[in-house]
């Protein structure tokens, strides 16, 4: 019997998110496939959901005595993933350690060269790859026969070819029974969890590492299965607020329509939120009333910039006029808008940041989130920055979190950039008129968000004053 232990190590989220603990869906999805395999047992230790410290994680590994330990490595949490593998090796030196996720997909060679505690990396979708790797290890087969992995052989890093894209319609539901489902929460969202209705994205934004990770464009799940999964999470686990973690949820109108009609037909009293594109909000505007009736309370839109020229540089395939139309459509349908706006691009100036702030105010987006321009591994901007020697070496991966500035604009100092970045939040959320409208908004949920954002900005203001 081969024992697999999948670990979500202790980690802190961006303080803007508030009290947020989300389920490790990737681990749960892989676990569901491993459970199907004879002769394999699998368990998940979610330190964040279960409130486990590093010492408690170590005890959990001692108790489990696994043969294989795995974790997901997102770039800002890569140090924690490596630490978990080191911990496992300390408990049981013979354990096989495997890291998957976007970071090691694009940094496989660096990971295996610099971190001896990592035996294998899974590159790209790991659903079937980890199963195949485990079966290979059980039979003393050659790892080179497993597609989609990287490993060391004779002191050299070997990377195998990628497998075909996963058929997402054939995947089982994630192994929710292995997770502390009652513990997941997100500020302002009651009985929160996440799920996926699709994988991938057909767009090619220069700052995004998701589309090169998933590959093969946009792949939707069966919409009826999505609703069935929502019903399972709602009725068995008491989940009432859902965040669709899709890279781009609103690609296909028919897909969304079936999900919405399924929610209403099954009588699911749920609220849900998604990340999508402004132009697709416009394209499917006739669906907005149905989506609102089915529980869609908020849409997160990648606004990114206030200038069409910069949007073109991002390969966003979007215009500021489309963003304005989308925000207005959401308002008319009583759907809250959250807009992501990038600050600190190479050509940024105080004037361009001020223009982004004024643009956000003119849009009257309900909740703008100003993010620091971040060159994630796997993106075009990362490759360009590395080629030009603009990145720290060795890198501090924990700062690749969209809250730290890793590359300075050509005409701004770090202190100047930070001052303007903080001013964007202070000016928007502490604006007397917007503050009053937000704190006394008609919707309880919207009032809750404004209270949270007000508190966040007062906290940041005090921190800035104290130096």
Cα separation, 132 vs 398, in Å, equals: 31
140 CB neighbour count, 10 Å cutoff: 6
| DSSP 8-state class, residue 188 | T
CATH number of 2-159: 3.40.50.2300
The predicted pLDDT at position 462 comes to 72
DSSP-derived 3-state class of residue 61 = helix
Instruction: Give pLDDT, residue 67.
Output: 97
Report CA-CA distances (Å) from 133 to 96, 255, 416.
Answer: 11, 34, 49
- Name the band, by pLDDT with cuts 50, 70 and 90, for residue 451: confident
pLDDT digits (tens, 9 = 90+) for 374-424: 999 999 999 999 999 999 889 999 999 999 999 999 999 999 999 999 999
The residue to which tokens 């982004």 are assigned: 356
- Is the model's pLDDT at 467 over the cut of 70? no
Question: 91-116: per-residue pLDDT in tens?
Answer: 999 999 999 999 999 999 999 999 99
Instruction: Please spell the DSSP secondary structure of 138-184, one letter per residue.
Output: HTT--GGGSTTEEEEETTEEEEPPPPPPP-GGGPPPP-GGGS-GGG-
In terms of DSSP H, where are the helices of 94-126? 102-106, 108-114
> Domains of the chain: which residue ranges?
2-159, 188-429
Q: What CATH code would you report for 188-429?
A: 3.20.20.70
* Strand 241-244 to 271-276 pairing: parallel
């Amino acid at each position: 019997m081969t024992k697999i232990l999948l670990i979500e190590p202790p980690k802190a989220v961006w303080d803007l998110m508030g009290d947020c603990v989300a389920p490790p869906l990737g681990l749960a999805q892989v676990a569901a496939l491993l459970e199907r395999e004879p002769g394999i047992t699998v368990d998940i230790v979610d330190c964040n959901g279960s409130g486990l410290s590093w010492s408690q994680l170590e005890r959990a590994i001692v108790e489990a005595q696994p043969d294989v330990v795995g974790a997901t490595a997102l770039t800002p949490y890569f140090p924690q993933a490596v630490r978990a593998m080191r911990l496992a090796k300390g408990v049981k030196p013979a354990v096989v350690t495997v890291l998957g996720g976007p970071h090691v997909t694009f940094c496989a060679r660096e990971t295996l060269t610099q971190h001896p505690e990592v035996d294998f990396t899974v590159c790209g979708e790991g659903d079937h790859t980890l199963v195949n790797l485990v079966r290979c290890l059980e039979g003393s087969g050659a790892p080179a026969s497993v597609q989609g992995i990287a490993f060391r052989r004779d002191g050299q890093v070997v990377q195998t070819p990628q497998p075909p894209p996963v058929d997402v319609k054939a995947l089982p539901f994630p192994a929710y029974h292995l997770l502390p489902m009652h513990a997941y929460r997100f500020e302002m969202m009651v009985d929160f969890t996440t799920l996926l209705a699709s994988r991938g994205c057909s767009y090619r934004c220069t700052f995004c590492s998701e589309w090169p990770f998933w590959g093969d464009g946009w792949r939707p799940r069966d919409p009826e299965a999505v609703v069935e999964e929502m019903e399972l999470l709602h009725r068995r686990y008491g989940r009432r607020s859902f965040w669709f973690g899709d890279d781009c949820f609103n690609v296909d109108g028919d897909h969304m329509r079936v999900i919405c009609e399924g929610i209403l037909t099954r009588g699911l009293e749920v609220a849900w939120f998604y990340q999508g594109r402004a132009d697709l909000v416009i394209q499917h505007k006739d669906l907005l009333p149905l989506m609102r009736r089915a529980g869609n309370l908020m849409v997160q839109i990648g606004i990114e910039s206030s200038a069409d020229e910069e949007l073109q540089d991002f390969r966003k395939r979007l215009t500021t006029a489309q963003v304005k139309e989308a925000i207005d459509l959401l308002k008319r349908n009583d759907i809250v808008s959250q807009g992501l706006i990038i600050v600190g691009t190479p050509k940024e100036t105080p004037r361009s940041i001020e223009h982004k702030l004024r643009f956000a105010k003119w849009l009257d987006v309900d909740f703008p989130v100003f993010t620091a321009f971040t060159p994630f591994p796997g993106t075009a901007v990362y490759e360009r920055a590395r080629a030009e020697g603009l990145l720290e070496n060795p890198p501090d991966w924990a700062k690749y979190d969209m809250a730290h500035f890793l590359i300075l604009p050509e005409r701004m100092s770090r202190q100047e950039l930070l001052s303007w970045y903080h001013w964007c939040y202070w000016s928007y959320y502490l604006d007397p008129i917007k503050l009053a409208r937000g704190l006394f908004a008609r919707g309880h949920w919207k009032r809750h968000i404004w209270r949270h954002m007000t508190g966040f900005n007062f906290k940041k203001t005090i921190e800035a004053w104290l130096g």
